[in-house]
Amino acid sequence: MNKIFSLGLLSLISIGLTACGGCPMIAGCNGTDRSPYFITPVSNQARGIPVPPQSKLTYQSQHFRQTHQQTHALKEQNLTGIALPENTAILWGGMPVERFIQFSNPQMTGFSVYPARGFKSEQSSTFLNLWKSCESDLDINLKNTSDWSFNPSNMQIRGCGRFQQRSEYTEDIFRQDEADEFLRKINQALQQLPKQQNYPILRQSSK
């Protein structure tokens, strides 16, 4: 009898683990993100980027109780994301952007930067025109992972929309050749630009 009970209990545990398999511990099995975050009450700076008040700084949790909104900023070395307030953007590399998200894969050192919706860039450069042409976020490898400023000497673009860096999973060689050429051009254009010193804050009225 005890043996049957033990087997049944093991089966229930196995089902429970399977149900949670593949979902990040920090997010929970219901998909709710429990990552700790802080809403900046005043203008601040994170990873070399000035951020306006009410920006959301998200961090990697350092223990199981460190979840949801925090009363103070956590260690910058654990920062995983910056989200600007609604209807707000900063000019980064000539593009109005609203979010920075660190790569979730620890083997990839860098982040993705997302253009802000509803904003138009008045600036023009070969780099900016190429970025606009792919109509997507930029995936960027970094030498110094703590510096998210627009600093070309620290950056290499690895992807933009359908143009992604070649990998062992590449199957469509023709499209990959096109992607390789796009990445060559945008990285070459990137290296022609200086490090950005000022990051103007842009705002638009809510609809």
Position 8 in a domain: no
Provide the pLDDT for residue 169: 67
Position 65 in a domain: yes
Query: How far, CA to CA in Å, does 5 sit from each of 12, 56, 91, 128?
Result: 11, 49, 63, 65
Provide the pLDDT for residue 168: 63
Look at the chain and report how many structural domains it folds into. Answer: 1
Q: Helices 126-134 and 173-190 meet at what angle, rounded to 10?
A: 150
Provide the pLDDT for residue 34: 84
Position 5 in a domain: no
Position 6 in a domain: no
Position 159 in a domain: yes
At residue 26, what are phi and psi to the nearest 5 degrees? Answer: -70, -25
What DSSP letter does each residue of 177-196 carry, written as one string? HHHHHHHHHHHHHHTTSPPP
Domain containing residue 137? 25-203
Buried b (16+ CB within 10 A) or exposed e, 165-189: eeeeeeeeeeebeebbebbeebbeb
Provide the pLDDT for residue 203: 94
Position 3 in a domain: no
Position 11 in a domain: no
Provide the pLDDT for residue 61: 86
pLDDT 10s per residue in the chain (207 long)? Answer: 444 444 444 444 443 433 333 333 334 444 477 889 999 999 999 999 999 999 999 999 887 777 789 989 999 999 999 999 999 999 999 999 999 999 998 888 999 999 999 998 888 999 999 999 999 999 999 999 999 999 999 999 999 999 999 876 666 677 889 999 999 999 999 999 999 999 999 999 876
Position 9 in a domain: no
Identify the CA nearest to 140 among candidates 97, 177, 171.
97
